[in-house]
Amino acid sequence: MKITVRQPFVKIRVHSWLKICCLSALSWWGNIVHGHPDHDHHSADHTGTVLTDGAEVIGHNGLRYRVNREWSQADPAVAPVTNAHAMIEDSEGHIYLVTDDMANAFIVYEKDGTFVRTIAHEDLKGGHGIDLITLDGEEHLIHVDGGWHQTQPSAWEWERTNGSVTILHKDGTIRLRLPSPHDLGVFTEDERYQPCDVAITPDNDILVADGYASDRVLHFKPDGTLVRVWGGPNPGHPGHLKNAHGISIDYSDPAQPKVWVSSRAENKLKAFTLEGDWLETIDLPGARAGQAFFAHDKLYTGVCWSLENGVGQQLPESGFVLILDQATHRVLSAPGGTEPTFIDGELQPMHQAQPIFKHVHDLYVDDQGDIYVGEWNSGNRYPYKLELIHE
Ligand SMILES: [Ca+2]
């Protein structure tokens, strides 16, 4: 299939830290993120539990974690990262980090954080979301370009344009770029397309969440055929989406897989059928939560911002991690955040409790229950690893 790289119809240069994330997200809630470079991984004002061996511990209710800030062994001179946006593990046990640093699209690690290699390609920009898909017996990577393209290496300077979704071989060569909704005549030329994330359906199709633009979900066959479009802002409808920042599927009920989409600006996760019919909502007061990640009978998600005392203004550098029971959706632990509390069964507003994270953008959970945490706008930090304490 022809690869089409669209020309930007809007260009915005970002010259300072008075900017965006998940940039366009700010336009939805009219706030400004004040971020400052911070390369110090050892700030002294942590207030989490400290073990006798000096390790910081965060989390609650038997889901507590050592904070490993030094998991990544990548050299910034070789494999720079601006935003550590999302991660996944392939069948060979390698961790892939997707980045928007113009020097590389992916950084590949061993599980222990040993640097393996980078993947770079001139057509892979704005890395924001990641997944794996097996086609013709071969495991492929999926690169989601969120439409914010860095213009200077490792600098906080961006051009806003349309994004894209690309399937590539693990050697970095491109197999296919999914057609844009403009090419397909689904979007008009004045509608923006800025996908945030993808999910793979039971039929090996690809669901694309256009979370920085239309908030619609585009369902593609892996050959690029568009099956349907659903979601979007439907004010007043419980399936309304606002900043559909992550998309994933809960397969725990084989009879009815549920597509979970973050409505991040509403502090909610919403479930839909594979056809896009709304099913249910999880309310996460105070927490701008992203993709739901399912593992170990839990639902894990990263919080990019929390609100002042859980109810006030959105605070900069206020992220944390949430862990819910997958079946009941009860919040069990909030590493870096306040201990989950309930009044008459109702979850009370949450907020950051320890300044461990700045903006948790996405996470990956391995077979040991350890969590790899990627951050946005954190001073070019590599992912942290939260190592589960077996108590
Ligand atoms: Ca996903």
**For the chain, domain boundaries:** 25-38+58-388
Residue type, 273: T
Confidence category of residue 11, pLDDT binned at 50, 70, 90:
very low
What residue type is 309 in one-letter code?
N
Half-sphere exposure of 222 (CA within 13 A, CB side): 20
Q: What angle do CA 382, 300, 72 make, to 5 degrees?
A: 15
Q: Do residues 107 and 64 lie in contact, with contact meaning Cβ atoms separated by under 8 Å?
A: no
Instruction: Give me ligand 1 centre to Cα 289, in Å.
Output: 13
Query: Does position 21 have pLDDT exceeding 50, yes or no?
Result: no
Q: How far is the CA of 243 from the centre of ligand 1 (A)?
A: 14
Question: What superfamily does domain 25-38+58-388 belong to in CATH?
Answer: TolB, C-terminal domain (2.120.10.30)
Q: Quote the ligand 1 centre to 198 CA distance (angstroms).
A: 4
Tell me the average pLDDT across 113-123. Answer: 97
**Max CA distance (Å), the chain:** 61
Q: What is the pLDDT at residue 47?
A: 52
Q: How far is the CA of 85 from the centre of ligand 1 (A)?
A: 12
Confidence band for 7, pLDDT divided at 50, 70 and 90: very low
pLDDT of residue 153: 83
What are the residues whose beta carbons fall under 8 Å from the beta carbon of 239, sequence distance 6 or more?
A: 231, 270, 272, 277, 278
> 279, exposed or middle or buried, with CB in 10 Å at 0-12, 13-18, 19+?
middle
Tokens of 271: 């479930």
**DSSP letters spanning 132-155:** EEEETTEEEEEEEE-SEEESSTTS
Among the ranges given (30-44, 228-242, 257-271, 372-386), the one the predictor scored with the smallest mean pLDDT:
30-44
Joined together, the tokens standing for residue 201 give 């359906």
**Mean pLDDT along residues 327-331:** 98
Determine the pLDDT at residue 391: 83
For residues 109-118, average pLDDT? 98
pLDDT tops 80 at residue 215: yes
Pairing mode of beta strands 174-177, 148-150: unpaired
User: Average of pLDDT values for 334-349?
Assistant: 98
Cα 43 to middle of ligand 1, angstroms? 32
Q: Which helix (H) or strand (E) holds 211?
A: none
pLDDT of the residue at 353: 97
Distance (angstroms) between ligand 1 centre and the Cα of 230 equals 17
Across 1-26, average pLDDT? 38
Alpha carbon of 248 to ligand 1 centroid (Å): 5
